[in-house]
Amino acid sequence: MTLVLVLAIIGLGWAGLAVAQPGVAWTVSPGTSTATIRLTPGAGLFSHWILVHSQLAVTEEADGHPVRRSSDGVVRLRVPPGSRTRLSVQVIGPRPVRQAVTVTVPPPLRVTGSLLRPGELIVLLSSPLRRARPGLLCGRRSVSFPAPSEVAVARGSRACLARLSLAAEDGERAVVSITVPAISAIPPARTALLYAFASAARRAIYITVDDGWTPSQQVLSIMERTRLPVTAFLIKEAAQQHLPYWRDFVKAGGTVGDHTVSHPDLTKLSLDEATAQWRGARLAFSQWFGVTPVLGRPPYGAFDSTVEMAAYEAGLKVLVGWSATVDSHGIHTWNGEPLQPGEIVLLHWVPGLAGQLTELLRAIHAQHLSPMPLTTASFAGLHPQQRSLAGD
């Protein structure tokens, strides 16, 4: 049977049988500026045999050389980025073919400019980028992608020299060297420094309660009955679980301060992460309660220049520490003495808060002190304390 078939081929020739010639396909890799040309089998009789017995020769038509030959049906060659390259492709074998191919490689990825925004440097690129997870740079998790052709790098308290590895959507890659400038000094009139004491005028004392996981109806009753001014430094995640209570708290004359979204140690975060913690809570409270906080309290009292800058970037005016605490064991002042005018007292929204508050009010009245609302005016003319004087 094989002999009959071979004789038939000899007698009829290639034209007498449905024999397909090989095809030519090509791909371009912008990341390596490489064109890959390969033979593809036809669909007719003996197509595989013809493919195996064919070779590929590729010539750049611009200069007529060099010729790249391949016995395995694949030729790879580099082509200039940002240009159109015309290639002459020749199939050598039982079914020869000659074909012209034009390949185009996108221009190389490059920086086209940069601009400074609050807290970050924006690097502008020539092509849309592949978005990646926020990356580490200068020891901080600080790289994000705000727009298709933009990279945002968070600025810190010190300038940073760094190299960004980027990839365009079309695969083109680049390593960009950048200098990330430090955030300039915060204008004194808008600084968010930390205060452990407030104004002592009129023998004022200030009651603050942190977190918000366990709201107390008894405390709300005391506030409504006595018109007691209380500032609640709320964690967003805690406040979100009890929104009706906190709306009643505000109606009763309470003030809501910013205690971040999730209560992390802000000194261990990058500037953009710390800013997001302040800003996320501040914007949520504005939406929920109709008043945007201007006072913030860093979790654990942890404070440094990054925390201060982040508060400024988020729009806070004053960071509030404390000089006295109240817990189940009693009242503790920073110096072990009785409460004094100007003290900022820290409590927490925990079971038993109403009893602690009642004990605090007895001590306040015994010292002839007057609970006052805590506002930015409470700190007018005072020198800030750079760190709180007690542990949270």
Over the stretch 317-338, which tens digit does the pLDDT of each residue have? 899 999 999 999 999 999 999 9
For residue 369, CA distances in Å to 206, 297, 348, 365, 374 come to 10, 23, 21, 6, 15
Q: What is the C-alpha to C-alpha distance for residues 160 and 376, in angstroms, rounded to an integer?
A: 34
Question: Length of the chain in residues, anyone?
Answer: 392
Closest listed residue to residue 371, CA positions, set 382, 355, 360 = 360
Architecture of domain 13-105: Sandwich (2.60)
Domains in the chain: boundaries: 13-105, 111-180, 188-379
Q: What is the C-alpha to C-alpha distance for residues 124 and 205, in angstroms, rounded to an integer?
A: 52
Q: What is the C-alpha to C-alpha distance for residues 212 and 209, in angstroms, rounded to an integer?
A: 8
Over residues 205-215, the mean pLDDT reads 97
Q: Is the pLDDT of residue 160 over 90?
A: no
Residue 23: its pLDDT value, please? Answer: 76
Q: Which two tokens stand for residue 160?
A: 């940073």
Minimum mean pLDDT among 153-167, 225-239, 363-377: which range? 153-167
Q: What b-and-e string marks burial along 79-110, b requiring 16 or more CB atoms within 10 Å of the CB?
A: beeeeebebebbbebbbebeeebebebbebbe
Residue 50: its pLDDT value, please? Answer: 76
Tell me the CATH number of domain 188-379, given options 3.40.50.720, 3.40.50.1100, 3.20.20.370, 3.10.20.590. 3.20.20.370
The per-residue pLDDT for range 250-293, each reduced to its tens digit, is: 999 999 999 999 999 999 998 889 999 999 999 999 999 998 99
Q: What is the CA radius of gyration of the chain?
A: 36
Residue 142: its pLDDT value, please? Answer: 66
Q: Is the pLDDT of residue 314 over 70?
A: yes
Q: Is the pLDDT of residue 36 over 90?
A: no
Minimum mean pLDDT among 175-189, 323-337, 378-392: which range? 378-392
Q: Which two tokens stand for residue 182?
A: 């430090």
Cβ-based neighbours of 225, under 8 Å, separated by 6 or more:
none
Residue 62: its pLDDT value, please? Answer: 60
Closest listed residue to residue 167, CA positions, set 125, 137, 115, 114 = 125
CB 323 within 8 A of CB 338: no
Residue 83 DSSP class: E
Q: Is the pLDDT of residue 302 over 70?
A: yes
Over residues 162-180, the mean pLDDT reads 78
Half-sphere exposure of 368 (CA within 13 A, CB side): 2
Q: Which two tokens stand for residue 58?
A: 């590729």
Residue 10: its pLDDT value, please? Answer: 43
CB 145 within 8 A of CB 132: yes
**Confidence band of 115 (pLDDT split at 50, 70, 90):** confident
Q: What is the C-alpha to C-alpha distance for residues 138 and 159, in angstroms, rounded to an integer?
A: 9
Residue 140: its pLDDT value, please? Answer: 57
Element (DSSP H or E) covering residue 44: none
For residue 102, CA distances in Å to 80, 117, 160, 254 come to 13, 43, 44, 72
